[in-house]
């Protein structure tokens, strides 16, 4: 296994429901070290830039609306096989299909309000980390 860094975001639904601490504790129990963390509210332009890869998808506008609806908590995480490990711990995008005990099964409401985001590949993780954190902030 290789030590990796990834990005996760606790989404506005989970922050508003005061589940952030539960999600952070869940990630730490799974062996993730938090290297950087902040609480911010994205502007519309920032959310559009972050999710630009989805700009032609039918859900883009509702995704941007959702991600700007309240504070989020982006974090840089590190552990062996962090990217795949986080995606396993998050569970399926749709909480109704997520395995028992995953973050989305526990804290997600529906396919859009699913509590957490995680990078899907090393290149994506690097770009997403840089979007939210400077090199100095990433440890």
| Residues forming the active site | 117
**CA separation (Å) from 112 to 40, 104, 133, 138?**
19, 11, 25, 28
| CA 137/CA 139 separation, integer angstroms | 6
Contact status, residue 130 vs residue 50, Cβ threshold 8 Å: no
Tokens of 94: 């749709």
* Placement of tokens 């690097």 in the chain: 126
Q: Name the DSSP letter for residue 38.
A: -
């Amino acid at each position: 296994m290789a030590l990796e860094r990834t990005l996760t975001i606790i989404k506005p639904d989970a922050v508003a429901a005061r589940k952030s601490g539960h999600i952070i504790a869940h990630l730490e129990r799974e062996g993730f070290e938090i290297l950087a963390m902040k609480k911010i509210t994205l502007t519309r332009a920032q959310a559009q830039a972050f999710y630009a890869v989805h700009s032609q998808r039918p859900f883009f506008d509702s995704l941007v609306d959702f991600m700007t609806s309240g504070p989020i908590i982006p974090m840089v995480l590190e552990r062996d096989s962090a990217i795949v490990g986080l995606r396993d711990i998050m569970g399926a995008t749709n909480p109704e299909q997520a395995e028992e005990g995953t973050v989305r099964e526990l804290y997600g409401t529906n396919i859009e309000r699913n509590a957490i985001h995680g990078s899907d590949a090393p290149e994506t993780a690097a770009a997403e980390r840089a979007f939210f954190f400077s090199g100095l902030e990433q440890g």
